A and B are shown apart, each in its own frame.
Chain A
Amino acid sequence: MKSLKVLVVDDEGVICEACNLVLAEKGHTVDYCKTGKTGLIAIERGKYDVILLDMKLPDIDGMEILETVRAEIPAPRVIVMTGYSTMSNAVQAMKLGAADYLAKPFTDDELIEAVEKTCPEQ
């Protein structure tokens, strides 16, 4: 698996750090932002392969960020994370262009699988 550039946008510091730990061990590079605003800035600047996006952020709605990301060229793959693990949420996120969906809480294996599956080796 080639090294991926991953951005985690979640207001929970523990989740950001945990994702960093798990993915870095697999050789991926991880940045993280704790607000929607800083997340949008990071998305504009860095060329990320994958964005792990929490749907409930204190400042900007996750869906709004998802729409902005879709406008990026090339558009990074987005994996939506949410505590409301319901089907309707997942379906809505997928309709808006998310590549995958992680229901909190998830294990390290589930995280790695979701990230690597989203970016198959070309």
Chain B
Amino acid sequence: MTSSTKFESYFHVLRDVIRAMHSITNLQEVLNIVVTKTTGALDAKGALLRILNEETNQFEVRAACGLGERYLTKGPVTTETVLSTLAELDKVYIITDIWNAPRVEYPQATWDEGVRMMVDMPLGIDKPMGLIRIYFTEQREFSDDELDFIKTVAMHCACVIERVQVMESQQSKFSHLVAHVDKLSSLGRMAAGIAHEINNPLAGILLYSSNLSKKVPSGGLLEEGLKIIVKETQRCKTIIQGLLEFARDREPQRALVNINDIMESALGIVENEFHLRHVRVRKQLDKIIEKVYLDENQIEQVFINILLNALQAVENKGVVTVQTVVDLEHKKIHIEISDNGCGIAPDHMKKLFEPFFSTKANGTGLGLAVSYGIVENHQGDIRVFSKPGKGTRFIIDFPFLVENSIGKGRP
């Protein structure tokens, strides 16, 4: 080939790869184009594209051309041999000695395939994510242009793979989140239904037991038993009220408020408990505070719930940090409450906001469930990050809402 037709041929391959990249509905299509076009442009026997599967730590074949079935079924390539020489991402590795190169896992099979030379081009942006291997039937020299061409294709290909991987991980995170929200809201609806059904029989129990407790001889076992029934029934009532709040039965009574004031007021309420346990509170409250439409009492309740959880999590002399940040760019208020306590076990993380989930001996399991409902009711977002033994961080975001964008009542 003359140098100008070669240039044309490289140009066409790059054009096809980039075109495939932009119609990115199918990663496989891009990978197929990369292997076939590269093989054609370099007059090679074939090419193989492997992508690192991070779960198994193996390079799996994702696209191939020009290679026999027997060679392809040789199995996966482990990372140890490949990764050890894959450190430089922008370097093309030319393998001339198939029998002795450490990067070749199956020399016999490669030789039988008619391969006498190979070129490895790592795929990756910051870290290795894959590898393109191009196979030749005879030894040859590579011009700088050819090496440059291989690098350019690999770079574009790596960009596509990364974009698709980011998209896939976002998609899976999102669908996970949707399932979680669905589960919580159906639990809420169920809770509201159950609450009503249970309050009716409880009304009968409470009326009879409170009435009877006055008619039995005072000081006796009967009176004591009836009083316990009265007390326990009232406890049920409190639990159900919490559940109803979780079920978003309470419309936020919004007003323009300063989030720092609410935080200070919540800290004031728990101050004593913190003092008794020698737990220090570190405050980092944003000075330029934007007032937002929130239900002061409900948000205070959320802060108190999280602060008390933090207090429980830290040993004596722990530190709880509260932070407020006005994010003018994204038009939201960002609140963080973190502790350096015992953290949350990974298998508890999923259940954290579910009603009745509690790790405390006397907990109702409603604190965070109610908090979740309240934040959601304010179009806010509540997230939690935790490392066992290191601590827990709750993040709450509230959007700046203008008064007329808030529904006055519920449909």
Asked if A12 is at the interface (CB within 8 A of a chain B CB), the reply is yes
Q: Which residue of B lies closest to A14 (CB)?
A: B204
* CB proximity to A under 8 Å, residues B22-40: none
Contact between chains at A104 and B211 (CB < 8 Å): no
Q: Is the beta-carbon distance between B196 and A105 smaller than 8 angstroms?
A: no
Query: Inside 8 A of B205's CB, which chain A residues have their CB?
Result: 105
For B251, the closest partner residue in chain A by CB is A88
| CA gap between A105 and B244 in the complex, in Å | 14
In the complex, whether B199 has a CB less than 8 A from a CB of chain A is yes
Contact in complex: B195, A105 (CB < 8 Å): no
Contact assessment for B199 and A85 in the assembled complex, using a CB-CB cutoff below 8 Å: yes
* Interface bits B226-244 vs A (CB < 8 Å: 1, else 0): 0000100110110011001
- A106, B244: Cβ atoms closer than 8 Å: no
Interface string of B199-231 (1 = CB under 8 A from A): 111111111101100100000000000000010
> Which residues of A are found within 8 Å of B207, using beta-carbon distances?
15, 18-19, 21-22, 105-108, 111
Closest A residue to B207 by beta carbon equals A18
Residue A83 at the chain B interface, CB threshold 8 Å: yes
**B60 is an interface residue with CB less than 8 A from chain A:** no
Q: Does B250 touch A at the CB level, under 8 Å?
A: yes
A34 within 8 A of B: no
| With A15-B200, A83-B199, A84-B195 as contacts: A105 and B233 at CB distance below 8 Å | yes
Question: Could you say which of A21, A88, A106 contacts B203, with CB atoms under 8 Å apart?
Answer: A106
Give the distance in Å from the alpha carbon of A38 to the alpha carbon of B336 in the complex: 56
B200–A104 CB distance below 8 A: yes
B196 & A83 in contact (Cβ 8 Å cutoff): yes
Which residues of the partner chain B approach A21 to less than 8 Å between Cβ atoms?
207-208, 211
How far apart are the CA atoms of A85 and B244 in the complex, in Å? 8
- Residue of A83, A84, A86, A105 most packed against chain B (CB within 10 A): A105
Q: A12-B204, A104-B203 are in contact. Are A56 and B196 (CB under 8 A)?
A: yes
CB distance from A91 to the nearest CB of B (A): 10
Please tell me if the beta carbons of B199 and A104 are within 8 angstroms of each other in the complex.
Answer: yes
- The interface residues of chain A lying within 8 Å CB-to-CB of B249 are 84, 86, 88
Closest residue of chain B to A11 (Cβ to Cβ) is B200
Least CB separation from B241: chain A residue: A85
- Report which of A15, A84, A107, A111 forms a contact with B204, defined as CB distance below 8 A: A15
A1 within 8 A of B: no
Task: Indicate if A73 sits at the interface (CB-CB under 8 A).
Answer: no
**Residue A113 interfacial (CB < 8 Å):** no
Provide the bound-state CA to CA distance between A81 and B199, in Å: 11
Residues of A within 8 A of B236 (CB): 105
Q: How far is the CA of A28 from the CA of B240 in the complex (A)?
A: 32
Task: Answer yes or no: A109 CB below 8 A from chain B CBs.
Answer: yes
Q: Which residues of B contact A14 (CB under 8 A)?
A: 201, 203-204
Kindly report which residue of chain A lies nearest to residue B208, judged by CB atoms: A18
Q: Are A86 and B244 in contact (CB under 8 A)?
A: yes
| Residues of chain A within 8 A of B206, CB atoms compared | 105-107
Asked if A22 contacts B211 (CB within 8 A), the reply is: yes
Q: Mark A17-39, 1 if CB is under 8 A from B, else 0.
A: 01101100100000000000000
Given the known interface contacts A84-B195, A87-B250, the answer about A12 and B244 at a Cβ–Cβ threshold of 8 Å is no
Q: Are B250's CB and A107's CB within 8 A?
A: no
Task: List residues of chain B with CB within 8 A of the CB of A22.
Answer: 207, 211
What are 20 A-B pairs at a CB distance below 8 A?
A12-B201, A14-B204, A18-B208, A19-B207, A81-B203, A83-B197, A84-B199, A87-B250, A103-B199, A104-B202, A105-B202, A105-B236, A105-B237, A106-B203, A106-B206, A107-B206, A107-B234, A108-B211, A108-B214, A111-B207
The 7 closest A-B pairs by CB, nearest first: A83-B199, A18-B207, A14-B204, A105-B202, A107-B210, A105-B206, A83-B196
Binding site for B on A (CB under 8 A): 12, 14-15, 18-19, 21-22, 25, 56, 81, 83-88, 103-109, 111
Given A83-B200, A107-B206, A108-B214, 10 more pairs with CB closer than 8 A: A12-B201, A15-B203, A15-B204, A83-B197, A86-B249, A88-B250, A105-B233, A105-B237, A107-B230, A108-B211
